[in-house]
Amino acid sequence: MRVPSGGNRRARRAVGNRQRIERISVIAQLPDFAGRLLSRMRTLAKRTVFSIYRMGCARCDVSGLVFFLPVLDRQEFERSEACLKEAVWIINRFDPVRLQRIQRDLSNGIVVVPSTSGAHYLPDIGVCILNSRRLLEGSHLSIALAIVHEAAHARLRCVPNPTPEQRARIERICIGAQIAFVSRLPENQRALENLRRMQAETVARSFEGRIHAHGRR
């Protein structure tokens, strides 16, 4: 019987060690793979839900910005449409260059929904959502500022899984976009003071322990 030489045994041992290392590496990557798969499934589900919801909405093109409005109540729809037109008119009147950027940043449209507070940008599906109550009860300027803010979030969406410090910095940048816009408006002192105070109070601890989903105003 042929006895393996010492060199052959060492070679086989090295091959076996490499195979064990490869198996361990694959096992170690399974949680990360499962996490990415779950994230993609959630994104697909969210995109599907919004696609179905938008099918039941009326599409409104206002100066190049696309809005999706629910049409359950005709009077409410007409009021919402009028509010959006006024808000976009303010942006176009005082900062038309910004409106052009917003058109690009929110190219997937702004969806008006009843079941959220304020305005949010959903970076995983590239959609901005706006609360219907806020649309009807807020001022035209507040709606314009919400659009400006969320468009800034859309522009900064390339930051993946931001830390609390990064989220605070992003939020301050988005508030800075509002400040730059309001600076162009007449009789703007009170709004500027409120925004600057809000910007100064936005710190990392405000985001600690909160799950990052999207920008919100």
81: Cβ contacts below 8 Å, ≥ 6 apart: 60, 67, 69
My answer on whether 31 and 67 are in the same domain is no
The domain total for the chain is 2
Q: Cα separation of 25 and 43, whole Å?
A: 27
Domain assignment present for 50: no
Q: Cα separation of 56 and 71, whole Å?
A: 8
pLDDT for residue 124: 87
Domain assignment present for 23: yes
Domain assignment present for 183: yes
Distance of CA 62 to the CA centre of its chain: 21
My answer on whether 12 and 33 are in the same domain is yes
Residue corresponding to tokens 């009147």: 93
My answer on whether 157 and 204 are in the same domain is yes
My answer on whether 202 and 134 are in the same domain is yes
Q: What is the pLDDT of residues 96-153, one digit of tens each?
A: 999 999 999 999 999 999 876 789 999 889 999 999 988 888 899 999 999 999 999 9
My answer on whether 27 and 111 are in the same domain is no
Q: Cα separation of 141 and 43, whole Å?
A: 32
pLDDT for residue 40: 80
pLDDT for residue 215: 47
Q: What is the pLDDT of residues 194-208, one digit of tens each?
A: 999 999 998 877 776
85: Cβ contacts below 8 Å, ≥ 6 apart: 62
Going from the C-alpha of 57 to that of each of 53, 116, 147, the distances in angstroms are 7, 17, 19
Q: Cα separation of 204 and 152, whole Å?
A: 19
My answer on whether 18 and 85 are in the same domain is no
My answer on whether 120 and 36 are in the same domain is no
CB atoms within 10 A of CB 49: 11
Cβ distance 117 to 57 under 8 Å? Answer: no
My answer on whether 127 and 175 are in the same domain is yes
Cβ distance 112 to 80 under 8 Å? Answer: yes
Residue 180 reports pLDDT greater than 90: yes
Q: Cα separation of 81 and 99, whole Å?
A: 18
Mean pLDDT of the chain: 84
Going from the C-alpha of 200 to that of each of 150, 169, 196, 214, the distances in angstroms are 19, 11, 6, 21
Instruction: Tell me which residue range forms the domain holding 27.
Output: 1-43
pTM: predicted TM-score of the whole model, two decimal places = 0.78
My answer on whether 34 and 64 are in the same domain is no
Residue 87 reports pLDDT greater than 70: yes
My answer on whether 70 and 107 are in the same domain is yes
My answer on whether 92 and 123 are in the same domain is yes
Mean of the pLDDT values across residues 72-87?
92
Name the β-bridge partners of 112: 130
H or E element: which one contains 148?
A: helix 140-155
